[in-house]
Amino acid sequence: MKPRQNQPPLWQQLQSTAGVLAAVRSGASCATALNMLSSQQRPGVQALSFLALRHLGRALVLRQILARRPPPAATDALLLTALALMWHNDDDDAAEPAPYQAFTLVDQAVEAAQQTRAMRSGAAFVNACLRRFLRERACLVAQSDPVPLARWNHPEWWVNRLQTDWPTRWMTMLEANNRHAPLTLRVNSRKTSVNHYLSMLGSAGMAATRVGPHGVHLHAACAVDVIPGFADGLVSVQDASAQRAAPLLLSGWAVRAGEPDNDQVKHHAPLRVLDACAAPGGKTAHLLELANLQLTALDIDAERCDRVRQTLQRLGLVAQVVQADAADPSSWWDGILFDAVMLDAPCSASGVVRRHPDIRWLRRPTDIAQMVQTQARLLQSLWPLVKPGGRMLYAVCSVFKAEGDDTIRAFMAGRTDVRCLPLARNAGDFDDFDDFENLDDVQADGPDSDGFFYALLQKSAK
């Protein structure tokens, strides 16, 4: 990890990283903790925090070996941060090598403790633990290896659930969660083409690879404000798996944008589409980039609705954005049925752990059942709003079967007005994905993309 210009000294970054780790362990999101930092601190601390969270399980087990009882919370967070960042050597075959030399991390962690009132009395303890780790590293790592928390850096309940859901693939999925996610962009087809945009990137000296019909992977991550054309709405940040949603809902049905001579444009009104739970607006925008639609974007949170509006404004797109509870149509619906509904339902987010490494430490086993109840309520509330012959795409960024297969099978049980449509392969060039009776689990061990579940449901025509 190369130091940035005007970046605070490492001991201050370790202080802040320990604060982020402590906040996550107390139940706050990493994003919330990072937002409390100055703009100068945030980039470096975010990089260290993400790496520490990816190795927190190993650090917890090592700390249990090194200390009979945990120190006070602030000191414990600093010790865990240092252990997470230094437990593997630079010569290890690791997806993310140690960011600094181990001796540097020890020195700067002790300095961080000495410079912090709440940790000062624990500076000698931190120094003793870390220097013992340096002396006995190989033995201590070997001692921690058999513990699932250390081996997989996920809570044991999470590991057990994946073992049950994916008996032949769970290890690969957990390993994928511990890798750094690529920066993937979606090209706005109303403004440019993938090939033209790849040429733009090449001219800017930025290497990239095409992924799917509308996406590109940047070989090196960067801030959005330096991505060519981002401010002008040429591209948006969106993972390749998430880019499947809009084409799946519209495939073989909607009018393509920019085809004014099509009979459907001349003789029929645009398709009426609802994007429920729409924030931050990525799928809303993709739908509008692909087709001429009368689209309503719905979200329960006012601030998140503002994010949808900002997204649409940057891309030059128009939709009706409504703040309301999608599960209570009586509070917002005008009584006119929708041709299509996108239900990107609230979920555990177990499929996007690479991008949000705090999720695994924030979730609890009981959360899944609560999520399933919410998903079922949304399906039951929104299905009556779909026209006969219309369709709904159910999507969750989860790899847990309870939120995917099980939820859809439960919804369909005993119904005579719904069937699962095949998920069109031309909706995305991702040959490694598996179909399960027309239900699609987009796995993190397929292409280098997030874990999603999709089911395309059609209402029987009367």
Helix (H, G, I), strand (E, B) or coil at 419: strand
The SS3 of residue 255 is: coil
**Cα(105)–Cα(395) distance, integer angstroms:** 42
**Bridge-partner residues for 110, per DSSP?**
none
Q: Count of CB atoms within 10 A of residue 418's CB?
A: 17
For the question of residue 277 being annotated catalytic, the response is: no
**What CA–CA distances, in Å, run from 119 to 17, 319, 388?**
14, 51, 64
Tell me the C-alpha distance between 240 and 95, whole Å. Answer: 21
152 in Cβ contact with 55 (< 8 Å): no
Is the Cβ–Cβ distance between 19 and 53 less than 8 Å? no
CA 322 – CA 319 distance, rounded (Å): 9
Out of 305, 347, 397, 420, pick the active-site residue. Answer: 397
CA nearest neighbour of 100 among 220, 185, 17: 17
Distances (CA, A) of 245 to 76, 238, 281: 42, 11, 12
Cβ-based neighbour number of residue 336 at 10 Å:
9
Structure tokens at 92: 């290890």
Among candidate residues 278, 281, 262, the one with its CA nearest the CA of residue 270: 262
Tell me the C-alpha to C-alpha distance, in Å, between residue 131 and each of 75, 92, 140, 249, 278: 16, 20, 12, 56, 50
Specify the DSSP element, H or E, that contains 276: strand 271-276
Which residues carry out catalysis?
397
